[in-house]
């Protein structure tokens, strides 16, 4: 069986001295350096008792040491669990209890939060070619044959209940990484900006795995900063994959510098994932980057991208593109809100997960007997075979008997020149769902609520217009920059009043 770490071996054989990655701590490694670092760390893990099909929890922020940890675990046949070090002690404990890892690695040389976890776990420091890390062995080795062929466990951050561990196989990751690299035409001459957390499938597969397949230099950044992204775009970065919130914030940062355009000489490819694109916002972003803004659709369970656009600048297409070659998609119109060609998006192919670890019930709900993954996203496929995502089925708002898709309302709000980004949710009130909008603006540059109401009135039918608009300078967000909608009501409880 082909494995992910074989991509690294191929690069070492092809161009060992070519730059594999650099990070915000000043580390710069060739592919040979990465190979040596992961060998050294694999020896440390082996000495700690880690065996094939054991789990290794990695509490990290993006850095070279974290990448070496991935390959070290794979070289031992172990399964790595990348988890953002910024998560709380309670969130980490849930993973420990569920996955029962034989070892926990913490990137203490690049993350203060990892250091806090190391202190709580009484971890010991290890140093070597891989840098500075801490390791803890809270549980004995316990190989699990059900994990044969699995490369990573990625725990999804659900809105309620315990997180689910998505089992992605080596075959899943190789397919997803190769597809991402070929979509972006990545080469050894490129520099891809790696700010998307490697604890998230977008950063792990579309960026890291894709870059290793193509021999591309990854410039790792531990945390998103609009200023750092701006500077990187003016310092040789050629590819920027990001989520819409990151694009919005760097556009706002540039505006505050008195500039209308990014003005990068090196940037050649920009993509957005995680949310549908509004035509007006897409035009605005393309004018800013002076490049086409490519869009795509994917999720943890599909090993990142399941579809993507390849458009020219100015294209009116706001779909998430045709389905990835080798993949299938269909629409199930039988779900609530479905009909007339619209329904739940089902995906099948070599990048669909093996299942949820130690959760056969959840696996059976997500994967049917024919191998179709029920994504939970509502969408449609147009006459040209392009997939359009309408929104999450769980986020669909039924107001006055009509379907309201939050992305459509958000797109109308985001078109306002003073709005950085917005989030729309539904809330039951008096037997109906009301539409609530939360809008992020810059400090000292807030539009009047009545002005926003008048603005969206020109763009949305009456039943789609928000009954409440809450304006603030920040919205609760995950490390990826994705807005955490399930935290909005608590975050603005004092403003909502009722």
| Residue 207 located in a structural domain | no
Range of the domain at 111: 5-171
Q: Are 424 and 409 in contact (CB under 8 A)?
A: yes
Q: At 36, phi and psi to the nearest 5?
A: -65, -40
Nearest C-alpha neighbor of 479 from the set 247, 249, 195: 195
Low-confidence stretches of the chain (pLDDT beneath 50): 158-160
Say if residue 448 is in the same domain as residue 347.
no
- Helical (H) or strand (E) element with 130: none
CATH assignment of the domain containing 274: 3.40.50.12780
Q: How far apart are the first and last CA of the chain?
A: 57
Say if residue 143 is in the same domain as residue 87.
yes
CATH assignment of the domain containing 14: 3.40.50.980
| Residue 204 located in a structural domain | no
CATH assignment of the domain containing 455: 3.30.300.30
Nearest C-alpha neighbor of 60 from the set 100, 118, 6: 118
Q: Using CB atoms within 10 A of its CB, is residue 448 exposed (0-12), middle (13-18) or buried (19+)?
A: exposed
Q: Are 407 and 435 in contact (CB under 8 A)?
A: no
Q: How much is the pLDDT for 159?
A: 42
Q: Using CB atoms within 10 A of its CB, is residue 386 exposed (0-12), middle (13-18) or buried (19+)?
A: middle
| Residue 139 located in a structural domain | yes
Residues 67, 59: Cα–Cα separation, whole Å? 12
CA within 13 Å, CB half, 478: 19
Say if residue 331 is in the same domain as residue 478.
no
Nearest C-alpha neighbor of 153 from the set 49, 301, 51, 306: 301
Say if residue 133 is in the same domain as residue 269.
no
Q: Are 81 and 55 in contact (CB under 8 A)?
A: yes
Rg value, the chain, Cα = 22
Residue 65 is given by DSSP the state H
CA 360 vs CA 349, 356, 440: distances in Å: 20, 7, 40
Q: How much is the pLDDT for 445?
A: 86
Say if residue 426 is in the same domain as residue 358.
no
Say if residue 347 is in the same domain as residue 405.
no
Q: How much is the pLDDT for 157?
A: 62
Residues 41, 37: Cα–Cα separation, whole Å? 6
Q: Helix, strand, or coil here: 76?
A: coil
Say if residue 365 is in the same domain as residue 441.
no
Q: Write down which residue in 132, 156, 171 finishes a domain.
A: 171
């Amino acid at each position: 069986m082909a494995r992910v770490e074989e991509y690294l071996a191929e690069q070492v054989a092809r161009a060992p001295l070519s730059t594999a990655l650099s990070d915000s701590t000043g580390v710069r490694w060739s592919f040979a350096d990465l190979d040596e670092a992961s060998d050294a760390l694999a020896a440390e893990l082996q000495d700690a008792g880690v065996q094939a099909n054991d789990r290794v929890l990695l509490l990290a922020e993006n850095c070279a040491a974290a990448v070496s940890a991935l390959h070290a675990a794979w070289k031992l046949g172990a399964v790595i669990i990348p988890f953002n070090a910024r998560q709380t002690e309670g969130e980490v404990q849930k993973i420990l209890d569920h996955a029962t890892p034989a070892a926990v690695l913490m990137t203490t040389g690049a993350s203060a939060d990892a250091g806090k976890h190391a202190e709580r776990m009484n971890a010991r420091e290890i140093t070597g070619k891989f840098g500075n890390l801490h390791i803890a062995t809270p549980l004995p080795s316990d190989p699990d044959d059900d994990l044969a062929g699995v490369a990573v466990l990625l725990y999804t951050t659900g809105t309620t209940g315990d997180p689910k561990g998505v089992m992605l196989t080596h075959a899943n990751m190789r397919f997803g990484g190769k597809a991402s690299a070929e979509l972006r035409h990545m080469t050894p001459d490129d520099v891809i900006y790696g700010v998307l957390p490697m604890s998230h499938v977008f950063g792990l597969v579309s960026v890291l795995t894709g870059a290793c397949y193509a021999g591309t230099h990854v410039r790792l950044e531990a945390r998103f900063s609009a200023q750092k992204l701006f500077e990187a775009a003016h310092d040789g970065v050629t590819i920027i994959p990001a989520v819409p919130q990151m694009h919005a914030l760097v556009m706002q940062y540039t505006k505050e510098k008195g500039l209308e355009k990014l003005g990068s000489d090196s940037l050649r490819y920009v993509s957005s994932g995680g949310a549908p694109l509004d035509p007006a916002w897409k035009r605005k972003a393309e004018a800013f980057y002076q490049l086409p803004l490519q869009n795509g659709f994917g999720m943890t369970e599909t090993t990142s991208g399941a579809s993507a656009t390849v458009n020219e600048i100015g294209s009116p297409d706001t779909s998430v593109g045709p389905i990835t070659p080798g993949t299938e998609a269909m629409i199930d119109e039988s779900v609530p809100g479905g009909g007339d060609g619209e329904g739940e998006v089902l995906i099948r192919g070599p990048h669909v997960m093996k299942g949820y670890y130690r959760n056969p019930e959840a696996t059976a709900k997500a994967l049917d007997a024919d191998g179709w993954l029920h994504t939970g996203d509502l969408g449609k496929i147009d006459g040209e075979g392009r997939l359009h995502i309408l929104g999450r089925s769980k986020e669909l708002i039924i107001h006055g008997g009509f379907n309201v898709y939050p992305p459509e309302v958000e797109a109308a709000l985001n078109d306002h020149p003073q709005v950085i980004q917005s989030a729309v949710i539904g809330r039951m009130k008096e037997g109906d769902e009301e539409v609530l909008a939360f809008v992020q603006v810059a400090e000292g540059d807030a539009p009047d609520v009545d002005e926003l109401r008048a603005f969206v009135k020109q763009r949305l039918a009456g039943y789609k217009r928000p009954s409440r608009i809450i304006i603030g300078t920040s919205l609760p967000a995950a490390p990826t920059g994705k807005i955490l909608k399930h935290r909005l009501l608590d975050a603005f409880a004092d403003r909502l009043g009722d």
